[in-house]
Structure 1
Amino acid sequence: MQFEEIFGDDEEPDEFDFVIDTHRRRFVGLLIDTSRSMALAQTGGMAAIDALNLHLAEWLPKVRAEGRGQLRDVEFVVITFGAGGVAVASGNRKPSARDDGAFVPAARLTLGPLEAGGATPMVEAVDLALDLVEQRRRHVQEVHGQQCGGPRLILITDGEPTDFEGNPTDEWRRLAVRLQQSRETGRLMLFAFGVPGVKDDVMRELAGEEGYFRLQDLDLKRVLDLALVATAEHVGYRRVADKFEDGF
């Protein structure tokens, strides 16, 4: 199945004015592992980080196109963890949930080339994403008087959580409790996509059995394709799982 069948027309968007008074907004946090392993791993004859940048260049126009349709009310915040520690890669690249801050409407989402290096401060990245989407929800409700749909986090990683120095850490256990509480109350959906090198037990604790998807190879294009499916409002865990099992 192609993206057109899931989202509709994938025509490139024209200049887009984001409507703030009639639509319910929804927030998506995209968390990308840019640790040193992404520079060392190879796929298709190139470093994984280079392959990721290549596929992102193809993926982002699809996101912007869908920003005129099914993703019209979606705002993205992109957070990387690895090179440079934990960093916001979208909007003004600052951890601000205010207007013209870190969040960008889907139709305007752009990213610069990502670099790989350093440790895997995954816990701190997810904590930041959780805090930012909650701050953004409050801001939109209080300042713009809009309703907000449940946020989604999409995590892409090939490793296990470490501290900022690269040492193993158990801080993910605390985070797992926080995420479980959010799932149980319906406040959040987390889709975690793991590629070779990932720690399965940790990811299952963080995302739950239904929210964790492990790829057998370093197919970053497929990961991004599945991530785009997971952003659609009508799509839940089962729909993504069906696409995953079908080899989408």
Structure 2
Amino acid sequence: MNPFALFEDDTDEPDEVEFVTDTHRRRFVALLIDTSRSMAATQSNGVVAIDALNRELARWLPTVRAEGRGPLRDVEFVVVTFGAGGVSVVSGDGTPSAEDGGAFVPASRLELAPLVAGGATPMVEAVELALSLVEQRRRHVQTVHAQQTGGPRLILVSDGAPTDAEGNPTDDWRPLARRLEQWRSTGRMRLFAFGVPGVDDEVMRALATASGYFPLADLDLRKLLDLILVATSEHVDFEQVRSQVYGDEFW
């Protein structure tokens, strides 16, 4: 699969630090990664899942940075993990500061330290944090930098079901699903959810809708990361991602 087949060819340099142009719209992508204890137990091609994920991230990140000098030049990422250590911002300077961009980093400079698996699955808390951060950042860029912004995209990856901080099952995802539906109805956000084996399909469909949820048959982390990159494109919709996931079976 070529994850860039849907991108237009554009090699202009990004506005990485200074907001000096209004010719492009700043866009915000929140990537939420499940790093709960199951990622330390599950294997992918004979390798512990979290180790396989770190290996694939090392391959994937240079590609993201390269695309950040072209098709993704206007994208700022915030990466949030939920699992080991609870909910953590692992992008930017690692602090949940949206106004000065502390949690955010341009695609051309995205770096991530190796991820660690363990703990519960506080998915709801992670999504709520991401929603808050992208909304704060959007308002800041519009008011302080007077720059247009595109609709934020949330990309959720999980292999389990939401729990509270102690690992107990929770139904807190139900009110979150209603809140997400309100955001969608006003065009303020689009959520792409990728479920790998072990995920709770009901929860993922409720959060992302049937259109925005993409269950994967196996734990192919390389394919997953390539699909995430496709989903960051401003001009890619659910149907195009679905065709990348399922190929001719979709049609």
TM-score normalized by structure 2? 0.93
CA distance in 2: counterparts of 1:47 and 1:85, whole angstroms:
20
CA distance in 2: counterparts of 1:114 and 1:48, whole angstroms:
11
* Match in the other structure for 2:57: 56
Does the 8 Å contact 1:63/1:109 carry over to 2? yes
What amino acid maps onto 2:50 in structure 1?
I
What amino acid maps onto 1:223 in structure 2?
L
* Match in the other structure for 1:153: 154
* Match in the other structure for 1:225: 226
Cα deviation, 1:148-206, whole Å, max 9, x if unaligned, reads 10000000100000000000000000100011111122111000000011000111000
* Match in the other structure for 1:107: 108
**1:78-97 mapped onto 2 (5 Å cutoff):** 78-97=79-98
Deviation at 1:14, TM superposition (A): 9.1
CA distance in 2: counterparts of 1:203 and 1:86, whole angstroms:
18
Does the 8 Å contact 1:4/1:10 carry over to 2? no
Gaps of 5+ in 1: none
Structure 1 SS opposite 2:244:
helix
Are 2:73 and 1:72 equivalent residues in the alignment? yes
Deviation at 1:6, TM superposition (A): 3.1
**1:183-202 mapped onto 2 (5 Å cutoff):** 183-202=184-203
* Match in the other structure for 1:120: 121
| Distance verdict in 2 for CA 1:186–1:36, change over 3 Å | same
Does the 8 Å contact 1:36/1:119 carry over to 2? yes
* Match in the other structure for 2:2: 2
Structure 1 SS opposite 2:6:
helix
Deviation at 1:16, TM superposition (A): 7.2
CA distance in 2: counterparts of 1:79 and 1:102, whole angstroms:
9
Structure 2 SS opposite 1:53:
helix
CA distance in 2: counterparts of 1:221 and 1:10, whole angstroms:
25
Are 2:180 and 1:179 equivalent residues in the alignment? yes
Structure 1 SS opposite 2:191:
strand
Structure 1 SS opposite 2:207:
helix
CA distance in 1: counterparts of 2:234 and 2:101, whole angstroms:
23
How many residue pairs get aligned? The number is 246
Does the 8 Å contact 1:16/1:107 carry over to 2? no
TM-score normalized by structure 1? 0.94
What amino acid maps onto 1:84 in structure 2?
G
Gaps of 5+ in 2: none
CA distance in 2: counterparts of 1:6 and 1:51, whole angstroms:
27
Does the 8 Å contact 2:98/2:137 carry over to 1? yes
Deviation at 1:44, TM superposition (A): 1.0
Cα deviation, 1:11-35, whole Å, max 9, x if unaligned, reads 9x99974451322100000000000
CA distance in 1: counterparts of 2:147 and 2:190, whole angstroms:
20
Deviation at 1:43, TM superposition (A): 1.0
Greater shift, 234-243 or 102-111, is seen at 234-243
| Distance verdict in 2 for CA 1:204–1:24, change over 3 Å | same
Does the 8 Å contact 1:119/1:165 carry over to 2? yes
Structure 2 SS opposite 1:154:
strand
